[in-house]
Amino acid sequence: MKNTCKHTKTKNDERVYCFTAPVAVYPYTEENRAAHGNICYDEICCECGATRAVLQNGSHYEFAPWGPSAAELKRREEEKKERAREAAEKLEDAAMQARDAKVVEVTPKREGYSKMVVIKMGGERKAVALYKIKEAAAQKDDGDGLVPFYRAVMRHAQEWERKEEDKYARSY
């Protein structure tokens, strides 16, 4: 979405830094060497939240072009993280499919026993202690596909438990 705000009413962020580098981006804004060497701060638009870096030295100013608001930058950052998480989960699921594996049950924790995850793999059922899966999933990924596999198993075990809880909740 294009920002059509003219940024007429602004305030200066109270965080003030020492000058480190020019902020102007030609041809959008012009460098002003007289403004170099002293302080730098962000100017924030009161209407739309857009920000720009400002260098000030006495009565001399240099401006960066107006950029996205802090909220918008945060939103973009979160979107990026979400996409990275989705990509990772896709790889993890592929590692599970490659082993023809499926989480079919998570046994409840009982006194003296650890929670077990029952995995159906190539037609066989294997019960693995959840803490062992957690340990394996937390290893450094050396590229053999095992870490993504165990991460997928953990996530599917959590999903399985969530579904069971929902079923239980609905039956009352």
- The nearer residue to Zn ion, 23 or 45, going by C-beta atoms, is 45
155: contact with Zn ion by CB under 5 A = no
Binding status of residue 146 toward Zn ion by CB under 5 A: no
Mention every residue, 6+ apart, whose C-beta is less than 8 A from residue 121.
99, 100, 101, 102
Both tokens assigned to 94: 């592929």
Residues 9-68 close enough to bind Zn ion by CB under 5 A: 45, 47-48, 50
Q: Which two tokens stand for residue 141?
A: 């990924």
Select 50 or 133, whichever has its Cβ closest to Zn ion: 50
Binding-site residue total for Zn ion (CB under 5 A)?
Answer: 6
- Closest CB to Zn ion among residues 3, 32: 3
Query: Contact between 115 and Zn ion (CB under 5 A)?
Result: no
DSSP 114: -
Rounded CA-CA distance 94/73 in Å is 32
What is the number of alpha carbons within 13 Å of residue 38 lying toward its C-beta? 13
Cα distance between residue 35 and residue 65, in whole Å: 16
The answer to the question of residue 70 lying near Zn ion (CB under 5 A) is no
Nearest approach, Cβ of residue 55 and Zn ion (Å): 20
Residues that bind Zn ion in the complex, under the rule CB under 5 A: 5, 7, 45, 47-48, 50
